[in-house]
């Protein structure tokens, strides 16, 4: 059932919809609340290019103005239901809110994601994770919309072909995840909460929290650690415009002074060249450049 009034905004300021806090505007943005809303967007505005945006935590807005339509899942499309240890969740929910929901129901498995900023949909697309845990380990199946076929389908975890920070959905960016089913385990609430806080403490001790950023910029290349490479090449603090490689962790780029997307991309390009020249290694960007 479609929403009576789907939220639609013209010339939306995207500053608060990307974690780098880059200043950008899109011509039109939709905030769907149902699958029928999503279908209506494509049926009614089929001629325009569509850009899908979740929580905005793993993206780089490369332009200051977009003639395209944005379909945004941030605070909307976030209904969740629980049946025993099985969660059925819409893709717009934040991983923070989802981990709190699991805690409130004595369900373990999402502790790691308590402090990994992302929507559920975004976490599935990139197979988010850390410390050897990944979202794929919890998934049962995923529901998605294919705008080319104008159909909704479901795919089992085994058929998504998850890899390190990659998936079937990463390779097919036109597909829109609408829902996912996660299988958790019953556990003690105090133990769950303790693990959540320990994970957060470890991450905050290592990662820059003083300036806007979008997490790890590069995928880890085989045989190397990105942070160590930045140390070796003395790239920490390397600056272009308002963007720089964090002094706290070389795997992060921060917006310390009204950076633009071009500033961030220039920092990335320089780091890639330095690593390539020294080690012959191609640093692959983990973040999605729009």
Catalytic residue among 74, 91, 216, 246: 216
Which spans in 134-188 are helix H?
A: 168-171
Please, which residues have CB within 8 angstroms of residue 194's CB and are 6 or more apart in sequence?
none
φ and ψ at 58, to 5 degrees?
A: -130, 35
Distance CA 140, CA 98 (A): 16
Around 76, how many Cα atoms within 13 Å sit in the side-chain half-sphere? 18
Please, which residues have CB within 8 angstroms of residue 228's CB and are 6 or more apart in sequence?
250
Closest CA to 252 of 117, 93, 53, 122: 117
Distance CA 222, CA 23 (A): 34
Distance CA 43, CA 27 (A): 18
Respond yes or no: is residue 165 known to be catalytic: yes
φ and ψ at 104, to 5 degrees?
A: -65, -20
Catalytic residue among 21, 143, 165, 288: 165
Catalytic residue among 21, 90, 286, 288: 286
Q: Are 265 and 63 in contact (CB under 8 A)?
A: no
Catalytic residue list: 165, 216, 286
């Amino acid at each position: 059932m479609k929403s009576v009034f789907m939220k639609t905004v013209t010339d939306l300021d995207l500053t608060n919809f990307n974690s780098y806090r880059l200043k950008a505007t899109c011509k039109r943005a939709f905030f769907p609340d149902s699958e029928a809303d999503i279908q209506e967007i494509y049926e009614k505005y089929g001629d325009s290019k569509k850009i899908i945006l979740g929580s905005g935590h793993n993206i780089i807005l490369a332009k200051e103005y977009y003639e395209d339509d944005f379909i945004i899942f941030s605070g909307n499309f976030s209904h969740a239901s629980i049946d025993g240890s099985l969660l059925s969740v819409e893709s717009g929910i934040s991983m923070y809110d989802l981990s709190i929901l699991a805690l409130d129901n004595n369900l373990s498995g999402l502790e790691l994601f308590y402090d990994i900023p992302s929507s559920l949909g975004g976490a599935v697309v990139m197979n988010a994770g850390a410390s050897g845990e990944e979202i794929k380990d919890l998934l049962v199946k995923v529901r998605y919309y294919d705008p080319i076929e104008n159909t909704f389908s479901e795919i089992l975890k085994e058929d998504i072909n998850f890899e390190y920070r990659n998936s079937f959905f990463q390779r097919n960016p036109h597909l829109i995840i609408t829902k996912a089913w996660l299988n958790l385990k019953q556990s003690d609430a105090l133990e769950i909460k303790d693990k959540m806080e320990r994970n957060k403490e470890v991450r905050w001790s290592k990662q820059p929290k003083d300036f806007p950023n979008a997490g790890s910029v590069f995928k880890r290349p085989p045989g190397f650690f990105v942070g160590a490479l930045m140390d070796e090449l003395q790239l920490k603090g390397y600056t272009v415009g308002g963007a720089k490689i964090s002094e706290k962790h070389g795997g992060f780029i921060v917006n310390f002074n009204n950076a633009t997307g071009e500033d961030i991309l220039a920092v990335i390009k320089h780091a890639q060249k330095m690593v390539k020249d020294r080690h012959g290694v191609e640093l692959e960007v983990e973040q999605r450049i729009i």
